[in-house]
Structure 1
Amino acid sequence: MKKSAWLPAVIAPVVVAGAVAAPMIANAASDPIAGTSPTAAAVIASIAQSSDAQYSGKLVQTSDLGLPELPTGSGGSSLEGNASDALGLLTSSHTARVYVDGADKQRVQLTQQLAEQDLVRNGSEVWTWDSKERTATHVVLPKDAATPKSGTATPSDIAQQAIDAITPSTKVSKPKDVRVAGHDAWQITLTPKSSGTLVGSVRLAVDQQTGLPLRATIEATGQSDPAVQVGFTSLQYGAPAERLFDFTPPSNAKVETKDLSDAPAHAKGDAQHRSAPSGDEPTFTGKGWSTIAELPKGSVDQSALGDDATGLLDQLTKSVDGGRAVQTSLVSVYLTDDGRVLAGAVPVSALVAAAK
């Protein structure tokens, strides 16, 4: 992880996880979900069928994490991890255009006042572009690599995070018939059984025909309005125009190139209870919805956040035993005096206890 990106990475609400038992999903993979009354496991299993989907649409993200609304655009691109820009994504509403042609062609356009940020992937070529800063980054990916994340989460992102930590600690509702962006969808609600998490529930709406997640809503315990919701307001299936996946930076742009083509692809593994293979990667304690991630001393360089770092930290955090912390309605982050960072969908008190 880029060290300057630590703050949005650990606060981002997509850290929440939890779904239904793995055998249910494995046994339901062939179940049809359109025009029937499917099981929740069949709905979740259908998401995998959407990996090659072709579509374009408009996404709207709203956030109510209890953070003060912060201005964006203080410098740098949120696609690259600038602190105030990325936090701005979590404290106000945002709209993005999304174009997808299968697993290796995507474009996300995040529009802001008088500016646009883009992430474009075409095969192994990935570009990010910030029109305000006139900066572009060109990355050559290794074979079969996943697309880097933009500043805007999609329903698929949140659905995948929920599925990745399948445990028996989650109560799953029967699918409910809903409509999202003009498409019939099955909506399921995942509710933690544990009282030790800030997450109240996660609702996923999945297209009945394609398995594409159309909307994801995360509710915090004790909060009436969604803490985070991201969903399509318009969606059209079919291959987007090929030109949308071609990007050439303007002649006056500042361009940075990163060739990762020879880097080994990392296999997805169990995130819980693993040891960090390098000094910059987190370790995990706990399980399910109460999992806590810890970055070791020295892996976070706060000075790399930029000139706005001190003001942001003072504004967002408060002094607690052994360091400073911020607790949103959904996620808490604890910065210890000895340089470690702990985060999770748990109260600050749980992070302080885990750090001792």
Structure 2
Amino acid sequence: MKKSAWLPAVIAPVVVAGAVAAPMIANAANDPIAGKNPTAADVIASIAESSDAQYSGKLAQTSALGLPELPTGSGGSSLEGDASDVLGLLTSSHTARVYVDGPDKQRFQLTQQLAEQDVVRNGSDVWTWDSKDRTATHVTLPSDAPEDLRDGTTTPADVARQAVDAITPTTAVSGPTAVRVAGHDAWQITLTPKSSDTLVGAVRLAVDQQTGLPLRATVEAAGSDDPAVQVGFTSLDYGAPAARLFDFTPPSNAEVTEKDLSDAGTHEQRGHGGHDRARSGDEPTFSGTGWGTIAELPAGTVDRSDLEGDASGLLDQLTKPVDGGRAVQTALVSVYLTDDGRVLAGAVPVSSLVAAAK
């Protein structure tokens, strides 16, 4: 097992609403939202209308998840490779450039110290590039591939869609208020869980009044008015980006991996949220409802006896012993690693995960 393979499960809080799957608001109004008195349903419906938008911009993401302090960087660091990269994304602020020309041409550039990571989609071709490792991956997509592929990059639209999926009788939705984001007029709505059993206090979405494009998404922990996670545009210009930005050729000394998925029908790959998917036995199962949904991966997912050196020490620093395993509770999400190798996660306290595992 790769040393850091379990890290995304342990540090999943950045995708807080991913464990919350529920039907979207039905029959939401389709009226323009540039008027003076839109409803929350108008604002939510306008998000779907932005899928063909053309724009360039700069994103900033901040995280205050309450993860323990860990050594990072050069000089005595106990973290290497993927582990350091994942922790860096989730515990520090970072910025990215984004270029979008409709649903099938996108480029995302995440710049870190002395390194750059890119994801470039042009139709059925997707390239990922890591300048630090000098590695590139070329994926050929099937014809019915999802429109929006970024291999982990987060934008306000991602958080918006996940939050919208959570709008059920368990969520209170505020009326829109006018705000300014990156020089654009926006309507902001607030989604507040009605249940006290979740770690999430509120999700705030700011949506461009003219285009419906989500401009900023903020997730607050219960009992706090400060953002636990926020991602938003700091600059945004509408219009088609230069076509050359969606062409990628790896450097001659790059290590290139090819993955041809053109014959893989994605209609059998749908995930949780009302669609069927072909199951191989290692997909998560779900219990609970709304904001209290808990995802569980089966026994054997994590074998702590296989972890050595840095990976084992990192696990001890991130988690604490609890009944039947080890767990970590952040500001927004808890993760529980059972002694038999199961992984449970949700936007709930650790105690809820322990109870669900029995």
Q: TM-score, normalised by structure 2?
A: 0.90
Q: Which amino acid aligns with 1:91?
A: T
- Pick closer, same or farther for the CA change 1:145–1:19 going to 2, 3 Å: closer
Matches of 2:356 and 2:119 in 1, distance apart? 37
Further displaced range: 156-165 or 167-176? 156-165
Q: In 2, distance between residues paired with 1:242 and 1:9?
A: 37
Deviation at 1:151, TM superposition (A): 3.8
Report the Cα distance in structure 2 between the residues aligned to 1:355 and 1:20, rounded to whole angstroms: 22
Q: Which residue of 1 aligns with 2:226?
A: 225
Contact preservation (8 Å) 2:136, 2:255: yes
Question: Corresponding residue for 2:265?
Answer: 264
Gapped regions of structure 2 (runs ≥ 5): none
- Give the match's secondary structure for 1:26: coil
Structure 1: which amino acid aligns with 2:202? S
- Equivalent position of 2:217 in the other structure: 216
Given candidates 348, 352, 355, the residue that maps to 1:346 is: 348
The answer on 1:320 being equivalent to 2:309 is no
| Residue 54 of structure 1: how far off its partner (Å) | 0.5
Does structure 1 conserve the Cα–Cα contact (< 8 Å) formed by 2:109 and 2:117? Answer: yes
Partner residue in 2 for 1:54: 54
Q: Following the alignment from structure 1 to structure 2, what is the Cα–Cα distance between the partners of residues 7 and 312?
A: 10
How far residue 264 of structure 1 moved from its aligned partner, in angstroms, is 1.1
C-alpha deviation, 1:271, in angstroms: 3.0
For residue 116 of structure 2, what is the aligned residue in structure 1? 116
SS where residue 280 of structure 2 aligns? coil
Corresponding residue for residue 174 of structure 1: 175
Partner of 1:143: 143
C-alpha RMSD of the superposition:
2.6
Give the 3-state SS of the residue equivalent to 1:136 in structure 2: strand
1:279 aligns with 2:281: yes
Is the CA contact 2:198–2:347 (under 8 Å) kept in the aligned structure 1?
Answer: yes
- Aligned-partner residue type, residue 125 of structure 1: D
Query: Structure 1 residues 274, 241: CA separation in 2 closer, same or farther (over 3 Å shift)?
Result: closer
- In 1, Cα distance between the equivalents of 2:308 and 2:266? 30
Take 1:56 and 1:268, find their aligned partners in 2: how far apart are those partners? 30
Contact 1:51 1:102 in 2 (8 A): yes
TM-score (norm 1): 0.90
Tell me, yes or no, if the aligned pair for 2:324 and 2:339 is still in contact at 8 Å: yes
CA distance in 2, matches of 1:92, 1:157: 19
Contact 1:4 1:304 in 2 (8 A): no
- In structure 2, what is the equivalent of residue 329 of structure 1? 331
Deviates more, 1:120-129 or 1:263-272: 263-272
Assess, with a 3 A threshold, how the Cα gap between structure 1 residues 13 and 46 changes in structure 2: closer, same or farther.
Answer: same
**How far apart, in 1, do the equivalents of 2:135 and 2:263 lie?**
25
> How far apart are residue 276 of structure 1 and its match?
8.2
Of stretches 344-353 and 35-44 in structure 1, the one that deviates more from structure 2 is 35-44
| CA displacement, residues 125-178 of structure 1 (integer Å, 9 cap, x when unaligned) | 111111011111111111131243334310000011112233110001010000
Per the alignment, do residues 301 and 160 of structure 1 end up closer, same or farther by CA in structure 2, a change over 3 Å counting?
farther
1:238-317 counterparts in 2 under 5 A? Answer: 238-266=239-267, 268=270, 270-271=272-273, 277-300=279-302, 308-317=310-319
Say which is worse superposed, 310-319 or 182-191, in terms of deviation.
Answer: 310-319
* CA positional deviation for 1:273: 12
Deviation at 1:3, TM superposition (A): 10
- Distance in 2, matches of 1:274 and 1:7, equals 27
Residue pair 2:17, 2:162 contacting (<8 A) in 1 also:
yes
CA distance in 2, matches of 1:189, 1:236: 25
Contact 1:274–1:284, Cα closer than 8 Å, also in 2: no
Residue 100 in 1 paired to residue 96 in 2? no
Q: Percent identity?
A: 76
> Which whole-Å CA distance do the structure 2 matches of 1:235 and 1:191 have between them?
28
- Match of residue 204 from structure 2: 203
Which shifted more, 265-274 or 217-226?
265-274
Partners of 1:344 and 1:41 in 2: CA distance = 27
